[in-house]
Structure 1
Protein backbone atom coordinates (compact mmCIF):
# COMPACT_ATOMS: atom_id res chain seq x y z
CA UNK A 1 0.00 0.00 0.00
CA UNK A 2 1.47 3.34 -1.00
CA UNK A 3 1.68 6.40 1.23
CA UNK A 4 -0.84 8.20 -0.99
CA UNK A 5 -3.37 5.43 -0.44
CA UNK A 6 -2.78 5.41 3.32
CA UNK A 7 -3.40 9.16 3.58
CA UNK A 8 -6.38 9.29 1.21
CA UNK A 9 -8.86 11.02 3.57
CA UNK A 10 -11.84 10.39 1.28
CA UNK A 11 -11.31 6.63 1.29
CA UNK A 12 -10.95 6.68 5.07
CA UNK A 13 -14.25 8.57 5.38
CA UNK A 14 -15.89 6.07 3.04
CA UNK A 15 -14.67 3.06 5.07
CA UNK A 16 -15.66 4.59 8.40
CA UNK A 17 -19.09 5.39 6.97
CA UNK A 18 -19.44 1.79 5.74
CA UNK A 19 -18.27 0.37 9.08
CA UNK A 20 -20.92 2.50 10.80
CA UNK A 21 -23.46 0.99 8.39
CA UNK A 22 -24.31 4.44 7.01
CA UNK A 23 -25.32 5.13 3.43
CA UNK A 24 -23.97 8.10 1.49
CA UNK A 25 -27.49 9.53 1.51
CA UNK A 26 -27.62 9.48 5.32
CA UNK A 27 -24.23 11.19 5.58
CA UNK A 28 -25.36 13.74 2.99
CA UNK A 29 -28.52 14.48 5.00
CA UNK A 30 -26.48 14.89 8.21
CA UNK A 31 -24.14 17.32 6.43
CA UNK A 32 -26.91 19.14 4.58
CA UNK A 33 -25.36 18.39 1.18
CA UNK A 34 -26.20 16.15 -1.77
CA UNK A 35 -25.25 12.50 -2.11
CA UNK A 36 -23.10 13.49 -5.09
CA UNK A 37 -21.18 15.93 -2.86
CA UNK A 38 -20.50 13.08 -0.39
CA UNK A 39 -19.26 10.98 -3.30
CA UNK A 40 -16.93 13.82 -4.30
CA UNK A 41 -15.62 14.06 -0.72
CA UNK A 42 -15.01 10.30 -0.58
CA UNK A 43 -13.08 10.46 -3.86
CA UNK A 44 -10.91 13.36 -2.67
CA UNK A 45 -7.42 12.66 -1.38
CA UNK A 46 -7.49 15.76 0.82
CA UNK A 47 -10.35 17.69 2.42
CA UNK A 48 -10.49 21.17 3.89
CA UNK A 49 -10.18 21.06 7.70
CA UNK A 50 -13.55 22.71 8.39
CA UNK A 51 -15.37 20.18 6.19
CA UNK A 52 -13.42 17.35 7.85
CA UNK A 53 -14.65 18.54 11.26
CA UNK A 54 -18.26 18.47 10.00
CA UNK A 55 -17.84 15.00 8.47
CA UNK A 56 -16.25 13.67 11.67
CA UNK A 57 -19.14 15.00 13.73
CA UNK A 58 -21.71 13.48 11.34
CA UNK A 59 -19.91 10.11 11.52
CA UNK A 60 -19.66 10.31 15.31
CA UNK A 61 -15.87 10.10 15.36
CA UNK A 62 -13.03 12.53 15.99
CA UNK A 63 -11.04 14.22 13.22
CA UNK A 64 -7.99 12.31 14.53
CA UNK A 65 -9.88 9.03 14.14
CA UNK A 66 -10.41 9.82 10.46
CA UNK A 67 -6.84 10.99 9.91
CA UNK A 68 -5.35 7.98 11.72
CA UNK A 69 -7.84 5.41 10.41
CA UNK A 70 -6.21 2.22 9.23
CA UNK A 71 -8.03 -0.72 7.67
CA UNK A 72 -5.22 -2.92 8.97
CA UNK A 73 -5.78 -1.74 12.55
CA UNK A 74 -9.52 -2.45 12.31
CA UNK A 75 -8.87 -5.94 10.96
CA UNK A 76 -6.34 -6.57 13.76
CA UNK A 77 -8.86 -5.46 16.39
CA UNK A 78 -11.59 -7.65 14.88
CA UNK A 79 -9.19 -10.58 14.49
CA UNK A 80 -7.98 -10.31 18.07
CA UNK A 81 -11.44 -9.79 19.55
CA UNK A 82 -13.74 -12.17 17.73
CA UNK A 83 -13.48 -15.77 16.72
CA UNK A 84 -16.43 -16.98 14.71
CA UNK A 85 -16.83 -20.74 14.40
CA UNK A 86 -19.23 -22.78 12.30
CA UNK A 87 -22.16 -21.98 14.60
CA UNK A 88 -21.53 -18.23 14.14
CA UNK A 89 -21.12 -17.85 17.90
CA UNK A 90 -18.70 -15.29 19.26
CA UNK A 91 -15.95 -16.69 21.47
CA UNK A 92 -14.62 -14.17 23.93
CA UNK A 93 -12.06 -16.61 25.30
CA UNK A 94 -13.25 -16.62 28.90
CA UNK A 95 -10.41 -18.11 30.95
CA UNK A 96 -12.38 -18.75 34.15
CA UNK A 97 -15.67 -20.29 35.16
CA UNK A 98 -18.08 -17.44 35.95
CA UNK A 99 -19.92 -19.66 38.43
CA UNK A 100 -16.68 -20.18 40.39
CA UNK A 101 -16.23 -16.40 40.57
CA UNK A 102 -19.82 -16.01 41.79
CA UNK A 103 -19.28 -18.61 44.51
CA UNK A 104 -16.01 -16.90 45.54
CA UNK A 105 -17.81 -13.56 45.82
CA UNK A 106 -20.58 -15.19 47.88
CA UNK A 107 -18.04 -16.76 50.26
CA UNK A 108 -16.20 -13.44 50.66
CA UNK A 109 -19.53 -11.72 51.39
CA UNK A 110 -20.36 -14.37 53.98
CA UNK A 111 -16.98 -13.92 55.72
CA UNK A 112 -17.39 -10.15 55.71
CA UNK A 113 -20.88 -10.47 57.23
CA UNK A 114 -19.55 -12.79 59.96
CA UNK A 115 -16.75 -10.32 60.82
CA UNK A 116 -19.26 -7.46 60.92
CA UNK A 117 -21.58 -9.49 63.17
CA UNK A 118 -18.69 -10.33 65.52
CA UNK A 119 -17.69 -6.65 65.69
CA UNK A 120 -21.28 -5.71 66.62
CA UNK A 121 -21.36 -8.38 69.35
CA UNK A 122 -18.09 -7.04 70.79
CA UNK A 123 -19.49 -3.51 70.70
CA UNK A 124 -22.60 -4.62 72.61
CA UNK A 125 -20.45 -6.35 75.26
CA UNK A 126 -18.29 -3.23 75.61
CA UNK A 127 -21.35 -0.94 75.95
CA UNK A 128 -22.94 -3.27 78.54
CA UNK A 129 -19.72 -3.12 80.60
CA UNK A 130 -19.79 0.69 80.45
CA UNK A 131 -23.40 0.78 81.63
CA UNK A 132 -22.77 -1.72 84.46
CA UNK A 133 -19.73 0.21 85.73
CA UNK A 134 -21.74 3.38 86.38
Structure 2
Protein backbone atom coordinates (compact mmCIF):
# COMPACT_ATOMS: atom_id res chain seq x y z
CA UNK A 1 0.00 0.00 0.00
CA UNK A 2 2.99 2.30 0.52
CA UNK A 3 3.51 2.20 -3.27
CA UNK A 4 0.14 3.92 -3.77
CA UNK A 5 1.27 6.90 -1.69
CA UNK A 6 4.83 7.18 -3.06
CA UNK A 7 4.70 10.49 -4.93
CA UNK A 8 8.27 10.18 -6.23
CA UNK A 9 7.56 6.91 -8.04
CA UNK A 10 4.43 8.42 -9.54
CA UNK A 11 6.45 11.38 -10.82
CA UNK A 12 8.99 8.99 -12.34
CA UNK A 13 6.33 6.89 -14.06
CA UNK A 14 4.51 9.92 -15.45
CA UNK A 15 7.83 11.33 -16.66
CA UNK A 16 8.59 8.04 -18.42
CA UNK A 17 5.10 7.87 -19.94
CA UNK A 18 5.66 11.38 -21.29
CA UNK A 19 8.90 10.16 -22.88
CA UNK A 20 10.95 12.59 -20.80
CA UNK A 21 14.40 11.87 -19.39
CA UNK A 22 15.43 12.92 -15.89
CA UNK A 23 17.90 15.36 -17.45
CA UNK A 24 15.10 17.08 -19.38
CA UNK A 25 12.90 17.39 -16.30
CA UNK A 26 15.90 18.69 -14.38
CA UNK A 27 16.48 21.41 -17.00
CA UNK A 28 12.78 22.36 -16.93
CA UNK A 29 12.97 22.72 -13.15
CA UNK A 30 16.39 24.37 -13.05
CA UNK A 31 17.86 21.63 -10.87
CA UNK A 32 20.35 18.79 -11.37
CA UNK A 33 19.52 15.33 -12.71
CA UNK A 34 20.63 13.95 -9.32
CA UNK A 35 18.03 16.16 -7.61
CA UNK A 36 15.31 14.74 -9.91
CA UNK A 37 16.51 11.23 -9.07
CA UNK A 38 16.29 12.06 -5.36
CA UNK A 39 12.75 13.44 -5.81
CA UNK A 40 11.70 10.25 -7.61
CA UNK A 41 13.01 8.23 -4.66
CA UNK A 42 11.09 10.36 -2.15
CA UNK A 43 7.78 9.12 -0.75
CA UNK A 44 6.64 12.72 -0.24
CA UNK A 45 7.22 15.96 -2.13
CA UNK A 46 6.41 19.47 -0.90
CA UNK A 47 3.33 21.02 -2.51
CA UNK A 48 5.28 23.94 -4.00
CA UNK A 49 7.77 21.56 -5.64
CA UNK A 50 4.97 19.24 -6.76
CA UNK A 51 3.27 22.16 -8.49
CA UNK A 52 6.43 23.01 -10.47
CA UNK A 53 7.02 19.35 -11.34
CA UNK A 54 3.40 18.91 -12.46
CA UNK A 55 3.66 22.00 -14.69
CA UNK A 56 6.88 20.66 -16.26
CA UNK A 57 5.22 17.29 -16.88
CA UNK A 58 2.09 18.88 -18.33
CA UNK A 59 -0.22 17.47 -15.66
CA UNK A 60 -1.88 18.77 -12.50
CA UNK A 61 -0.54 18.15 -8.98
CA UNK A 62 -3.80 16.29 -8.30
CA UNK A 63 -3.14 14.15 -11.38
CA UNK A 64 0.21 13.10 -9.92
CA UNK A 65 -1.30 12.37 -6.51
CA UNK A 66 -4.09 10.24 -7.99
CA UNK A 67 -1.98 8.50 -10.65
CA UNK A 68 -1.85 4.72 -10.40
CA UNK A 69 -0.59 1.87 -12.55
CA UNK A 70 -3.92 0.11 -12.30
CA UNK A 71 -5.56 2.80 -14.41
CA UNK A 72 -2.92 2.32 -17.12
CA UNK A 73 -3.34 -1.46 -17.05
CA UNK A 74 -7.12 -1.04 -17.28
CA UNK A 75 -6.76 1.17 -20.35
CA UNK A 76 -4.41 -1.35 -21.96
CA UNK A 77 -6.56 -4.31 -20.86
CA UNK A 78 -9.72 -2.77 -22.27
CA UNK A 79 -8.08 -2.61 -25.68
CA UNK A 80 -7.44 -6.35 -25.84
CA UNK A 81 -10.21 -8.68 -26.96
CA UNK A 82 -9.89 -12.41 -26.62
CA UNK A 83 -11.65 -14.34 -29.35
CA UNK A 84 -11.09 -18.10 -29.08
CA UNK A 85 -7.53 -18.05 -27.75
CA UNK A 86 -6.17 -15.48 -30.21
CA UNK A 87 -5.58 -12.03 -28.75
CA UNK A 88 -6.20 -9.12 -31.09
CA UNK A 89 -5.15 -5.60 -30.28
CA UNK A 90 -7.90 -3.10 -31.04
CA UNK A 91 -6.31 0.35 -30.96
CA UNK A 92 -8.81 3.18 -30.43
CA UNK A 93 -6.50 5.83 -31.91
CA UNK A 94 -4.04 6.11 -34.78
CA UNK A 95 -0.58 5.44 -33.27
CA UNK A 96 1.11 7.47 -36.03
CA UNK A 97 -1.05 10.50 -35.16
CA UNK A 98 -0.10 10.11 -31.48
CA UNK A 99 3.57 9.81 -32.40
CA UNK A 100 3.40 12.97 -34.52
CA UNK A 101 1.51 14.74 -31.72
CA UNK A 102 4.17 13.79 -29.15
CA UNK A 103 6.94 14.76 -31.56
CA UNK A 104 5.37 18.18 -32.14
CA UNK A 105 4.87 18.66 -28.39
CA UNK A 106 8.52 17.76 -27.73
CA UNK A 107 9.59 20.11 -30.51
CA UNK A 108 7.64 22.99 -28.91
CA UNK A 109 9.13 22.20 -25.50
CA UNK A 110 12.62 22.13 -27.01
CA UNK A 111 12.02 25.47 -28.74
CA UNK A 112 10.79 26.96 -25.44
CA UNK A 113 13.87 25.58 -23.73
CA UNK A 114 16.12 27.18 -26.36
CA UNK A 115 14.41 30.55 -25.90
CA UNK A 116 14.80 30.24 -22.14
CA UNK A 117 18.49 29.34 -22.45
CA UNK A 118 19.08 32.28 -24.81
CA UNK A 119 17.40 34.60 -22.30
CA UNK A 120 19.63 33.22 -19.53
CA UNK A 121 22.73 33.79 -21.66
CA UNK A 122 21.68 37.38 -22.39
CA UNK A 123 21.07 38.02 -18.68
CA UNK A 124 24.49 36.57 -17.84
CA UNK A 125 26.16 38.75 -20.48
CA UNK A 126 24.44 41.87 -19.11
CA UNK A 127 25.44 41.08 -15.52
CA UNK A 128 29.16 41.02 -16.39
| Same-fold status (TM-score > 0.5) | yes
Which residue in the other structure is 1:60 paired with? Answer: 58
Runs of 4+ in 1 over 6 A off after TM superposition: none
The Cα of 1:81 is off from its aligned counterpart by 3.1
**Corresponding residue of 2:48:** 50
Q: TM-score, normalised by structure 2?
A: 0.62
Q: Which of 10, 14, 17 pairs up with 1:16? A: 14
CA contact (8 A) 2:8 2:43 kept: yes
For normalisation by structure 1, the TM-score amounts to 0.60
Which protein shows a greater Rg?
1
Write the deviation string for residues 25-74 of structure 1: whole angstroms up to 9, x where unpaired: 00001101000000010000000000000000000001111000000111
20 and 82 in structure 1: CA distance in 2 versus 1, 3 angstrom threshold: farther
Question: Partners in 2 of 1:29 and 1:81 — Cα distance?
Answer: 35
Q: Distance in 2 between matches of 1:82 and 1:34?
A: 40
Runs (5+) with no aligned partner, structure 1: 84-88, 94-134
Query: CA 1:58/1:82 → structure 2, altered by over 3 Å: closer, same or farther?
Result: farther
What is the aligned residue count?
86
Greater share of strand residues, 1 or 2? 2
Closer, same or farther in 2 for the Cα pair 1:92/1:38, shift >3 Å?
closer
1:69 corresponds to which of 67, 70, 88: 67
